[in-house]
Each structure stands twice: as structure tokens, then as C-alpha cells.
Structure 1
Amino acid sequence: MIQRIQSLYLLIISILSSLLIFFSFQYNIIEMSHIEHLRLNIISAQNKYLLIASVLNLVISVDALTILFLYKNRKLQMTLCHYLTGMNLILISLMYYGAKQINGIPVYQLPFIIPIINIILSQLARYYIKKDDDLIKSADRIR
């Protein structure tokens, strides 16, 4: 399970998505003395878009771990990696749109690119899962 590189990619996706809960991805300068930090935390979501993004972030983290433990069904793993990519694209748009709803001057921080990194990692995981699947099929053909 953890011996393969795609397992590491999926584990990193889960860890990065979990980190997005604790770190603020943006802060808004509302007044000179007031700065508002935005996190993907279900309890402190400022609007409905950030609440949906928080739930989606948790789903992404759990989905990456689920894909990790489905190592016997590679076709399902590849399909779920595509869904993981789509969910990360939706997460980016929800984070951006939810942050635009809040007044002030937005300043994006480094955790805002975590979904982009997750997209790259999920596609790499899908590539290596397909590579393993092709290797298994060629070994079955030789027998």
C-alpha cells in the first residue's frame, strides 16, 4: 500500500488538505486597524461559500485516504483520482468566490495554492496507478 509512489502522493494530498483547515489562505484588510483572516474551518466560516468549501476540503482529505486504501481496485482508484481533481477545481473557485464576498482588500497567502498542488499530485497518482495497471495486465498476458 505505502510501497508505491502514488500512495505517497495521495497521503500528501490528504495532509495538505488537512493543513488548509488550520492555516488562513487569505486575509482582508478592512480598515487600517482591522485584519480578518479566512480559514476553511466549518465552525468559523464567514459565508455559505466558505462553509461549502470547508466541507469539500474535508471530503477531499477523506477521499484521498479512501483512494489510498482501494489499492486492489485500480480502475476505481483512477476514476476517484479524476473526481479528486474536479473537487479541487471546485474548491479553488469556492475559496475565491467566498473570499470575494467579504469586504476589504484581499491579500492571498501561500495556503491558497494547496488545491493547485493537490490537482498536480492527484494527476501524478493517477498516472502511476495506470502505469501499475498496465504492468499487471502485461504480466497477466505473459502467463
Structure 2
Amino acid sequence: MIQRIQSVYLFLASIISGVLIFVFNLWKSIKKDIFAMDLLNSESFLLKVIPVLFLVSAILSFVAIFIFKNRKLQFVIGRVTILINLILLGLLIYVSLTLPGEASVSEKGIGMFIPVLAILLVVLANKAIKKDEDLVKSVDRLR
């Protein structure tokens, strides 16, 4: 049901992945702050994939909220969201290690930790979904 704790976790994960990318920067160069949506204008395909993965993660987390009648599918969508965020985290780490102009001052932003928070929330949601599924199975055994 929508009022369950896993729905809260999934909603927070979708807000973190979909909204906070506009608020927190990924890194700061000498000229300006670089946000996730600024990467869509870059030449590199690798950089263009990062905001797309953020949005796909947010959409999947939001869609999983409304699939509460099919807990197995909700659980699988949660796992796919975790996988997408792990790929995103790997991409962000790779890009941050290969940033051009590291001789000049550049700082990593707090936006690099957004996938970690999303992974944590989706893991908590999957744990609650599994708990609900086990409860339903135990009640079915009693019938």
C-alpha cells in the first residue's frame, strides 16, 4: 500500500535522485560549479550518460511506489535501481579521477554522494518489501 514505509523510502530516493541534482553541484571548476544537467551539453558521451542515469533512477524509484500490489516486481525494480546507482557511482568516481585541469584548483561537490544516499534508501525499501512478502507468505501457510 502507498502508506507503507517502503513507499516513503522509495519516494525519498526518487526525490534525491531527481531533484537534488539541480541543487548540489558534482564538482567545482575554476570558472563555475558543474551540476548534473550541465553535463548534457558536453562533448563526451560518458558525461552525457550521468544525468540520464540520475533521471532513470528517479523515475524507477517513483514508479516502484505504485506497484505495491506486485511486491516481487517492486523488489526487482528496486534491485535495478540499485544497479543503476552503482553504475552511476562508478561513472562519477571515474570522471572525478580523470577531470581535466587537476593541476588547477577543483573541488568535488556533495552531489557525488547522491547515488550513495539513493542506494541506501532503496536497500531499506527492499528490506521492507521483503519483510512484507515474508509476512504474506506466513499468513498463507496458516490457511
* Gap regions ≥5 residues in structure 1: 30-34
Output the amino acid matched with 2:116: I
Aligned to 2:25: 24
1:103 to 85, 101, 104: 101
- Superposed CA RMSD in Å reads 1.7
Q: How many residues align?
A: 138
Say whether 1:36 aligns with 2:37: no
> How far is 1:63 from its partner?
0.4
* Gap regions ≥5 residues in structure 2: none
Say whether 1:5 aligns with 2:2: no
Secondary structure of the residue that 2:52 maps to in structure 1? helix
C-alpha distance in 1, partners of 2:125/2:87?
19
Deviations 1:63-102 (A, max 9, x none): 0011111111111111111111111011112223234243
Give 1:1-143 correspondences, 5 Å limit: 1-22=1-22, 23-29=24-30, 35-41=31-37, 43-45=40-42, 47-99=44-96, 100-104=98-102, 105-143=105-143
Shift in alpha-carbon separation, 1:109–1:46, aligned structure 2, 3 A = farther
Deviates more, 1:4-13 or 1:20-29: 20-29
TM-score, normalised on structure 2?
A: 0.86
2:40 touches 2:47 (CA, 8 Å); kept in 1?
A: no
TM-score, normalised on structure 1?
A: 0.86
Shift in alpha-carbon separation, 1:36–1:48, aligned structure 2, 3 A = farther
C-alpha distance in 2, partners of 1:45/1:95?
15
Output the amino acid matched with 1:36: K
C-alpha distance in 2, partners of 1:45/1:5?
39
Deviations 1:96-124 (A, max 9, x none): 32342432343112221111011111111
